Amino acid sequence: MSAQQTERLVRMANQIALNFGEERDLTLAARRTGEHLQKFWTPAMREQLADYAAAGGEGLSPAVRELYSRS
């Protein structure tokens, strides 16, 4: 997948984490973000984001970083 697609996934994941209250409870937001991604994202999308996080994950929000640090 292209860099543009990855940037879009990062933006979407960050927005999801923010909507789940990343600023109030980082751990809870990370868990809920993971649940959302599992329910609504394709395996390919989740794999691309996981690969990006494993490669350093520049630009990922704290909750998304936490999600992938536990995986």
- The per-residue pLDDT for 70 is 73
pTM for this predicted structure: 0.92
Residues 6+ apart with CB under 8 A from 66: 26, 27, 30
How far out from the chain centre does Cα 56 lie?
13
- State residue 71's pLDDT score: 58
Tokens read off for 17: 């984490």
Query: What are the domain boundaries of the chain?
Result: 3-70
- pLDDT by 10-residue block (mean), the chain, 71 residues: 92 98 95 98 97 96 93 58
